Amino acid sequence: MAESKKYQDSVGKLTKLLESNLKKVDQEIIYRLDKSIPLINDIGIHLINASGKRLRPLLTLAMAAQLNDYSQNPVILAAAVEFIHTATLLHDDVVDESNLRRGKKTANIIWGNEFSVLAGDFLFAQSFELMVETGSIQALSSLASASCKITQGEFQQMQIAKKPETTRKQYLDVIGKKTAELFGASCESGVIVANGSLVEQKAAYNYGFNLGLAFQIIDDLMDFNAQSKKTGKNLGDDFKLGKTTLPIILAWEKSNTSEKQFWNKTLKELKQDTNDFEKALTIFHKYNIFESCKLKAQEFISKSKISLDQLPDTEIKEHLIGLADESIQRSR
């Protein structure tokens, strides 16, 4: 709990330092939504009221601020980044709703799919209109490339599902595209519009990319971690869907024949009995899987922090280092 508070500290300090620009990001988000179309307007209210810590736009603003740019361009880019992220969440809903829909009313699902697809498309298209306004084709290129990789990563994630024999390399490739690229581009584009050097751009990208990898590893870990329930994520969702994540891969590598039979039954064939989730946890504990996952995440956090050496020593940089360190502690 103390550590969970500590995690909020660096984000909290960054949020305070960048408060005025973060408010402008919110204004930009509201302003860009089409008031004449109630459904689109609803997203805005949802986005503003229900949004979490706005991590990605915060990174864009922080990276620009590192280079003393507190102008409107990073604000516009940060809004674009949040639109891209929200668009992908809305489209993920369609995929997830599909899987969860048995037993639910069809009409809601129909409406949900139409709404989620179109609303995501609107936000995605709007994000490019925002980027155009910055006049920076290079920042746009960075975020367009990340957007493309997100969908490639999601395709690949479908392909490795129900395959516990997936390699670590394949998994890292998937989460790199699905999650880390947008973290990388959020940071990189902030430096680009602040006229940072190529070295600084690359450093910002590497900070974000490695942070994103660690972030996703911890996120995947939390699907199995009872103490993380307070974050709002339902325990065991990934397990139920047969999603292949790092804990599964590491456990499969170490499993004996009867344990492999267990994974085959529960994940390949998706035949799960009531206590199978607990049984999976027992195997994880036997092989110290959670600790191994955290070590892997720690590896990427170290890389992430080292990248910052290329950027000026500022108060913001200290908090970016803190943010990276604390992201690991989410899982405790």
Q: Given the rule CB under 8 A, which residues bind a second copy?
A: 34, 37, 39-40, 88, 91, 94-95, 98-99, 101-102, 106, 109-110, 113-114, 117-118, 120-122, 124-126, 128-129, 132, 135, 137, 140-141, 144-145, 147-148, 150-152, 154-156, 158-159
Closer CB to a second copy, 88 or 228, in the complex: 88
DSSP string, 186-199: HHHHHHHHTT--HH
Minimum CB separation of residue 121 from a second copy in Å reads 4
Closer CB to a second copy, 3 or 133, in the complex: 133
Minimum CB separation of residue 147 from a second copy in Å reads 4
Minimum CB separation of residue 122 from a second copy in Å reads 4
Distance CA 206, CA 284 (A): 31
| Cα-Cα-Cα-Cα dihedral sign, residues 55, 45, 122, 74 | negative
Closer CB to a second copy, 70 or 115, in the complex: 115
Minimum CB separation of residue 20 from a second copy in Å reads 28
Q: Which two tokens stand for residue 108?
A: 């809601």
Task: Name the amino acid, one letter, at 18.
Answer: L
Closer CB to a second copy, 95 or 235, in the complex: 95
Distance CA 55, CA 53 (A): 5
CA 290 to chain centre: 20
Minimum CB separation of residue 225 from a second copy in Å reads 27
CA dihedral (232, 85, 289, 9) in degrees, to 10, reads -70
Closer CB to a second copy, 37 or 48, in the complex: 37
Task: Name the amino acid, one letter, at 181.
Answer: E
Minimum CB separation of residue 171 from a second copy in Å reads 16
- Residue for token pair 């919110």: 26
Burial of 230 (0-12, 13-18, 19+ CB in 10 A): exposed
Instruction: Answer whether 171's CB lies under 8 Å from 138's CB.
Output: no
Minimum CB separation of residue 68 from a second copy in Å reads 25
Closer CB to a second copy, 135 or 312, in the complex: 135
Task: Name the amino acid, one letter, at 4.
Answer: S
Minimum CB separation of residue 227 from a second copy in Å reads 32
Closer CB to a second copy, 90 or 324, in the complex: 90
Minimum CB separation of residue 143 from a second copy in Å reads 9
Distance CA 284, CA 289 (A): 5
Closer CB to a second copy, 65 or 174, in the complex: 174
Helix residue ranges, H only, the chain: 2-17, 19-32, 38-50, 55-66, 72-100, 106-134, 137-160, 168-175, 181-193, 198-222, 237-241, 246-254, 257-263, 276-286, 289-307, 315-329
Distance CA 33, CA 45 (A): 10
Q: Which two tokens stand for residue 124?
A: 């995605």
Closer CB to a second copy, 132 or 199, in the complex: 132
